[in-house]
Amino acid sequence: MKAVILAGGKGVRLRPLTYTIPKPLLPVGEKPILEEIIERLKPFGVREFVIAVGYRAELIETYFRDGAQLGVHIDYVRESHPLGTAGPLALVRSAGISPDEPLLVMNGDILTDLDMRAFVEFHLAGEFEITVATRKFELQHPYGVLQLDGQRVIGIVEKPAVTDIVSAGIYAIQPSALDVIPDDSFFDMPDLVNKLLPDSRTVGAYHFVGEWLAIDRLEQLEDAGRMIAERHG
């Protein structure tokens, strides 16, 4: 199984740290984020990686090289300009992928203990073209929410919580689904899913609980350091 790691973003919410260092190379514990991701995927038999790079690509390529020092093989595809979360997969079409084997695709800022083998087995058993790993996300309103009948208040709930099912930024994708991604264009994962659905091409949802952290802000970077310290402590 080949994994595609999306690592081309500028990490603007982590500035000033990312002015000089791309987010995938920011340290969590004793390793860069991207190295921690690779090490977590190896126990599931993932040894082939394609890393989609863009911002400060030369630093990522210099650090990881061909992956031999980590016991894996790494190829790279370069974005000449931002392509979104699905656009880089158009570059992967020419990266020697098997037409029959699903790609494990994930954002390059996610730390998780998701059982990737079980995830991919679910994807294959359901014969989905794309399977999205999902989680519950609870958002609490900061105010009292009114229930209205015209201009009359019929109820009020103080700071209610709304729970949604959200994408965890991890996907199993059949190579056939990549055909709908335009070349050299900004294209996000929701665009890809919404492009497939009208044609009755199947998209699955794999819900999981457990460790999951998307490192998007400084406080999450600090949380990641604590998470890893506990994991190895």
For the domain that residue 199 is a member of, what is the CATH number? 3.90.550.10
β-pairing verdict for 130-140 and 203-207: parallel
- What's the pTM value of the predicted model, to 2 decimals? 0.88
Q: At 64, phi and psi to the nearest 5?
A: -90, -25
Length of the chain: 233
Tokens matching residue 21: 């260092």
pLDDT on residue 96: 66
Return the pLDDT at 42. 94
- Asked if residue 28 is part of any domain, the answer here is yes
- Is 182 within 8 Å of 90 (Cβ atoms)? yes
Range of the domain at 191: 2-133+167-232
Residue numbers of the chain with a pLDDT score lower than 50: none
Give a yes or no: residue 154 inside a domain: no
* 3-class secondary-structure state, position 122: helix
Q: What is the pLDDT of residue 233?
A: 62
pLDDT of res. 1: 80
Q: What is the pLDDT of residue 106?
A: 95
Which residues, at least 6 apart from 118, have a Cβ–Cβ distance to it below 8 Å?
none
Q: How many domains would you assign to the chain? A: 1
